[in-house]
Amino acid sequence: MTTPRTIAIGGDHAGFTYKATLLGFLESAGYTVKDFGTHSADSVDYPDFAHPVASAVESGEFDRGILICGSANGVAITANKHQGIRAAICWQEELASLARQHNDANVLCIPARFIEVELAKAIIDRFLTTDFEGGRHANRVGKISC
């Protein structure tokens, strides 16, 4: 596998503080990152940030996406409306591994209100360094899009 190098990141007000920390974490690890917002802790609507991140990954402009909100449900639901997106909510490292290995997930959704930022970093690292296994999983993934 080619290691992803470009990351689109975004989130709502509940994910704003984590996103700021995670941007620095990703950049220090050598990734090229584009922040799609939000750019403050003021209340916003998560689809306004989830759609641009999903579109950027779907178009191939970015290798992977990361979305952060309170529960991760809203951003995951929104991102998964895009045909080329397989967004996965992960709150443990093993879930990030399985999302990549079995589902070829290309957008990671982090529930900021339910995990510590250090765990979020470990989940991101696992998500970005785990390969899709293909094989029997490729057939299943091929059936996801409508």
How far CA 24 is from CA of 42, 66, 72, 121, in Å, comes to 21, 14, 21, 11
82 is catalytic: no
* Distance of alpha carbon 64 from alpha carbon 20, whole angstroms: 18
Cα pseudo-dihedral 24, 118, 10, 142, rounded to 10: 120
* Distance of alpha carbon 131 from alpha carbon 68, whole angstroms: 22
**Element holding 86 (H helix, E strand):** none
3-state SS class at 108: strand
Q: One of 69, 82, 90, 109 is an active-site residue; which one?
A: 69
* Distance of alpha carbon 102 from alpha carbon 97, whole angstroms: 8
Q: One of 13, 51, 102, 137 is an active-site residue; which one?
A: 102
102 is catalytic: yes
| Positions marked active-site | 69, 102
